[in-house]
Each structure stands twice: as structure tokens, then as C-alpha cells.
Structure 1
Amino acid sequence: MPPIVQAALLFVFPALVIVGALRDVTTYTIPNWISGGLILAFIPAALALGLPLETIGLHFSVGAAALVAAMAMFALGWIGGGDAKLFAAAALWMGWPAVVTFVLLTGVVGGVLALGLLSLRSDMLRGIISIGPSWLGRLATPGESVPYGVAIAVGALAAFPETALLKAFPGLG
């Protein structure tokens, strides 16, 4: 497969997780087409990069385990449904062992994001934020949820270089 096609298929991952983060921060929703697109794009990307079937199977196992964990977090009210789907779809692309870095970084970034939003939601800063766009005002609203898709995207992008997919790209592995 020509490297330009492989690169285009690999580009789907960062593009969609960034779009997911931007949608989450501006609308508090992550559309299903983003997670679905990630899942559908994984298969041709893995095949184009020549990943062995065992490795592809391991990626699907990691994605399934992440979906179960994310569904539990959703059931507990810790994350939204879109966050859960994005987390599982990103984990599919991570595979083993990159998923460990992904999970750890997503947790750390999520904590930093929550602290940042607490600061943003303080009385002092909320007044300043009110002159900005409406989505920024919503971020500054006390009691509003955390757009965890941002943390998922940062964790996924930071762990992406560790994936078997990126290591299989000519000249990077």
C-alpha cells in the first residue's frame, strides 16, 4: 500500500479525536459519527499497515474492555455517553500496551481539566468570561459537567506514537 494512503488512514485518528474534543467543549456532546468513524477507519488502517491478525484481535479486545469500563463509568455518572464511546473507540486504536499510557494520561488530564474548570467557575473569572462566546459561558457555569472528551483526546494524541499502527508506518517503526 502506498505510504500516502497509509498516512491518510492514520490521519483519521487524530482528526476525529480533535473534532470530538472540540464538539464536547463547545456543545457538551460527542456525535456518534465520530466514534463510529474511528471504529470503521481502524480496520482499513490496520490492514493497510500490515498489522498481523493477532495484533488486530488484541486491539479489538482492548477496545471491548475499554467499552465495558467506560459503560461502568457512565452508569456511575462519572462521564457522559459520548465520552464513553469516544474512550472505547480511541482505546481500539491504542491497543496494548499503548492503552496504559492513554488511560493514565486521560486521567491526569481529566483532573487538570476539572481543576481548571473549578477556577474558571469562580466568581472572579465568571464575570470576565461572560463577554465571550456562549459555549465559554457554559464552561464557566457552576455545576455544569466536565467536557471529558478533551481529556480523552489529549490522552489519545499523546499515546498515539506508542501504538502498533504508528510503529508500522514506514520510516517510523
Structure 2
Amino acid sequence: MIHSLQTLLLMIFPVLVIAGAVRDLTSYTIPNVISLGLVAAFPVAALALGLPPLSIAVAFGLGVAALVVGMGMFAAGWIGGGDAKLFAAAALWVGLPGMLSYLVFTCLAGGALAAGLVALRLPVVRMVLPTGPAWFCRLAQPGENVPYGVAIAIGALAAYPVSSLVGRL
């Protein structure tokens, strides 16, 4: 029974991160409830999995540091505010063991996403694409933003298996 509860708690992270990516992809917004849900669920999951207090404190420190970096990227106009919050909330969950993987995979996914959107937005490609849902047409518009929450989610999901939380199971 305890193992099932722990597994269920560990599933909160991928579900919310994927929800954030889908919302960002389809609406260019990541609702605050997703990031707040991740932050609120982390201590519950950490305590249920028996994460040591020092590891919990380090994870919160990483989350704060990621929020500061994300706010800087937002201020520079590189990412949106929802992206910055999702970036920080995910950093909390991946913790120190997963942080390097998180950063590397997020950067790689962001580069791939940007390259894919550049290709999608080429006039020759847009001419041959059928029309689709409004969100897809907006995604294909030249000059439109990049839904970086997708890259953040990919990086976070790639790093999650090496996180302190998953390691406790």
C-alpha cells in the first residue's frame, strides 16, 4: 500500500509537467496552478519517500536559484513568465542529482524546438501544410513566440529518473 502511494505521488510530476507543455504548445500560456501544484506537491512527495531534510532544503534552494535565472531570462525577453515558473518548479523536483541532465536536455530540446519552428515557418512549408487547429496555425506563423514550456518539460522528464525522489523508490 505504501509503495502504491509513493508511486502515485511520483506521478504528479510528469502529469503536471506534460500538462504545462501541452498548454504552452496550444495557448502560449502555462497556468500558475500547474507550477504551484508542483511546488505544493513536492514536500508531500519528498516526505512520503523519506527524502532527508538536507536534500529537501537543497532542492528548494535549486528551485529558488532556477526561479531567479528564469526571471532574468524573462526580463531579457527570452522566455515567458510561465516558462520561468515551470522551469523553477521542475528544478525543485529533479533536485541536485538531476540538475545537469535537466539543463542539458532542456537546452537541447529548446534548440530542436526552435529549429523545428524555423522550418515550419518557412513560406514553402507553410504553403504545402494543410490548415489545422487554430493553435497549430499560430505555431506556424512567422515571428510568433516559441512555446519553451515544451522544451522545459522534455528536459525535466529526461532528468526525472535520476532525481533524488525517484532514487528513493
Give the alignment's TM-score, normalised by structure 1: 0.95
Q: Secondary structure at the match of 1:30?
A: coil
- Residues 94 and 156 of structure 1 are in contact (CA less than 8 Å); yes or no, is this contact kept in structure 2? yes
- Residues 97 and 164 of structure 2 are in contact (CA less than 8 Å); yes or no, is this contact kept in structure 1? no
- C-alpha distance in 1 between matches for 2:97 and 2:165: 12
- 1:158 maps to which residue? 158
How many angstroms does 1:58 deviate by? 0.5
- C-alpha distance in 2 between matches for 1:11 and 1:127: 41
Tell me the alpha carbon deviations over residues 24-67 of structure 1, each in whole angstroms, 9 at most, x when there is no partner. Answer: 00000000000000000101000000000000001001101100
- 1:96 maps to which residue? 96
Tell me the alpha carbon deviations over residues 47-106 of structure 1, each in whole angstroms, 9 at most, x when there is no partner. Answer: 000000000001001101100000000000000000000000000001103111101110
Q: List 4+ stretches of structure 1 deviating above 4 A.
A: none
- 1:2 maps to which residue? 2
Tell me the alpha carbon deviations over residues 119-158 of structure 1, each in whole angstroms, 9 at most, x when there is no partner. Answer: 0001122133351111100000000000000000000000
- Residues 101 and 159 of structure 2 are in contact (CA less than 8 Å); yes or no, is this contact kept in structure 1? yes
- 1:21 maps to which residue? 21
Unaligned segments of structure 2, at least 5 residues:
none
Matches within 5 A, 1:134-173: 134-169=134-169
- 1:68 maps to which residue? 68
Backbone CA RMSD of aligned residues: 0.9
- 1:45 maps to which residue? 45
- C-alpha distance in 1 between matches for 2:11 and 2:80: 26
Specify the code of the residue in structure 1 equivalent to 2:157.
L
- C-alpha distance in 2 between matches for 1:129 and 1:35: 34
Specify the code of the residue in structure 1 equivalent to 2:62.
V
How many angstroms does 1:2 deviate by? 0.4
Specify the code of the residue in structure 2 equivalent to 1:79.
I
Q: In the alignment, does 2:92 pair up with 1:54?
A: no
- C-alpha distance in 2 between matches for 1:127 and 1:20: 30
Specify the code of the residue in structure 2 equivalent to 1:113.
L
- C-alpha distance in 1 between matches for 2:129 and 2:8: 38
Give the alignment's TM-score, normalised by structure 2: 0.98
- C-alpha distance in 1 between matches for 2:153 and 2:166: 17
